[in-house]
Amino acid sequence: SMKYQKTLIAAALLAMTTPLQAGGLLTNTNQSIAFNRNFARVGAIGIDGVYFNPAGVVFLDQGFHLSLNFQNVYQTREITSSFTVPAFQQIPSLQPFSQPFLLNGGQADGSKFYKGKASVPILPSFQVAYNKDRWSFQAGFGLTGGGGKATFNDGLPSFERQVSLLPALINQQLPAFAQLLGQQETPATSYSMQSYMSGQQYDFGLQLGVAYKVNEHLSVYGGARFNYIYNKYEGNITDISANVGGNNQNLYGYFDAKAKALGEKANVLQAQAAAAQTQAAAYQAQANAATDPTVKAQLQGAADQYAAGAKRASEGAKLVRAGADKLNSSKELVKDRYVDVRQRGWGITPVLGIDYRSGKWNLAARYEFTTKFNIENDTKRDDTHHYENGVNTPNDLPGILALGAQYEVLKNLRVMAGYNYYFDKDARMDNNKQRFLKKNTQEFLAGVEWDVTPAVTVSAGGQRTLYGLGDGKYLTDLSFVTSSYSFGFGAKVKVARNIHLNVAYFFTDYSNFKKEYNDAITVGSQQVTQPDGTVLTQPKTIATKNTDIFTRTNKVLGVGLDIDF
C-alpha cells in the first residue's frame, strides 16, 4: 500500500536533532594553544593548567597569570552509504530498483557520498590565576563541547533511503490507479529531493576553583565547572519528486492532481447514480400505479434496471473515492517538512586535582565527575512531531580521569606523557544510546618541549584516541566519531618582559569505520487475520541491507597570549 506511515520522512528528520560533536564523544580538550602543539599537558605546569592540571598552577610565580587563546577550526564529516532491497532482487520488474541510490546519481556500485562541513572561525578560551603564598585562585572559560555549525547541503543517507523507495512503490500502485482513471500510466524511473540540515552545539564551561600547596612537592585542587548547553537544529526535506511518464513530477502535486481527477470522476459517478436513482423511483411509482400486468412488468423491469445502474455507479464512485483518499494520504507523506528546534540545559561538574613534583619529575592527575542533567526542547517548528515543545532529554557529560607525567631530560628539554579515560558508558543520552558503546574512550598522549633560546620554546606532540564503538550501533549519520591520531606542533615566543605569544597547528587523521546492518523501512500497513478471527493492522515493512562508511577530517590553527602581572 502506498499509505506508508508517517515514520517514513519523520524518521529521516528525526536523525537531525542528534548532537554534532567536535572533540571526544562529547568533550573538547583543546582548551589552549599550548595543548594544540603538545597534547600531553596534564603533567606540565603552566597557566593553561587551570584546565589541564589545576593543582600544578600553584607552583607558578606569585601574582596574576592570564592566558588568552583563539583557535580556528575546520572539520568535515564524510559518509559513503549504500543499501540494497533483497526482495526487489527476486522480481524481474523490480530489479532496477534493488539499489535505489542508482535512481538519483549514485555510483556504479550503488553507493552515494555525503559531506558535511563544520567550521568555527574563532573558538575562544581563557585561563586566569592569582597565586598568593600557598594558595592559587583560578578561573577558566571555554567551549568544553561542540562549538561549530555543521552543515549538510545535500541532506543525509537516512533522509534519502526513505525517499529512494518511492519509484518502486509508485510503480506497484500504477496499474490500480490507471484502471480507476481509465488512462495509461507510465512507470516511475528515478527520484529526487532537496534536503538541508544544519546543527550547532555549544557547551559553554566556566570553571572556578582553588589550589593549595601542601609543601614544596605536593599540591591539591578543588573546583567546579558550570556548563550551559545550547543546541540549535534546522533542517528540511522539500520537493520530493519522481520521474513519472518521462517528466520529473513533484509528488505532492502529482498525487494531488490524480486525487482531484479521481474525486471529479467519483462526483460524476455519484451524479449518474443519483440520476438513475431518480429514474428508478419514477418507474417504480408508475409500476406501482399500473393495473395491466404486462405494462406493470415492463415498468418494474425498467425500475429494476435503473436501480441496478444506480447501485453500480454508486459502488464505482465509492471505489474511486477510496483511491482518491489513498492518494490524499500518500500526498501528506511527501509534502515539504521543516524542523527548527533549540535545546537548552545546564549542569555543574565537580573537579579535583593533585600534583606531585620531585627532582626532574612532575606527576599530576585530574578527575572530573560525570555531570547528570537534561536539555529541554524549545520547538519553533516541527513537522515530524518528534520534538514536542518543553520535553526534556538526558544529556549527561561523561566523567574524565586524566593522568600526566613530565620528565626533565636537560635543563632546556622536557618530555611528557598522558592518559585520559572517559566514563562514556555512565553518561545518559537520548534513548540510552550510550548502552551501544562497547567500551569507554581512552586517549594516549605524548609530547616534547625544547627551549631553543631563553625566549623561544618549540614543542610537538601526538595523541591516539580510541573509541569503544563496538558494532557501530552507537553511530548515526548525523552524529559519529571514529578512532584517530592527532599531531601538533608550534612555538612560544617571548615578545615582551611579561608577555609570550603562542602559535600552533594540529590536525587529526581519522580511521574509516564501516557499519553494516540490516534495517526495515515502513511502507504502509496491512490487515492480518489472527487464528481466532480478529483482524490486526500491522506495519508493512521492506527489509534492507545497509552499509555506512564514516570518516572525518580536523584542522586547527591557534594563536594566543600568556601574560604575567
Question: For residue range 483-532, what is the model confidence (pLDDT) as tens digits?
Answer: 999 999 999 999 999 999 999 999 999 999 999 999 887 776 677 888 88
Q: Quick one: pLDDT at residue 3? A: 40
pLDDT tens digits along 258-309: 899 999 999 999 999 999 999 999 999 999 998 899 999 999 999 999 999 9
Q: How far is CA 279 from CA 180, 291, 312, in A?
A: 26, 20, 15
Q: Whole-angstrom Cα distance, residue 270 to residue 320?
A: 10
This prediction's pTM: 0.85
Our CA dihedral for 270, 273, 278, 283, rounded to 10 degrees, sits at: 180
Q: Quick one: pLDDT at residue 349? A: 96
Q: Whole-angstrom Cα distance, residue 109 to residue 106?
A: 8
Q: Quickly state the pLDDT bin for 256 (edges 50, 70, 90).
A: very high
Cβ 376 vs Cβ 390: under 8 Å: yes
Q: How far is CA 104 from CA 77, 147, 240, 443, in A?
A: 21, 33, 12, 41
Q: Quick one: pLDDT at residue 24? A: 52
Instruction: State phi, psi for 286 to the nearest 5 degrees.
Output: -65, -40
Most confident of 238-252, 321-335, 358-372, 530-544: 358-372
Q: Whole-angstrom Cα distance, residue 543 to residue 266?
A: 36
Question: At 308, is the secondary structure helix, strand, or coil?
Answer: helix
Angle of CA points 194, 200, 204, to nearest 5°: 175
**Average pLDDT of the residues of the chain:** 89
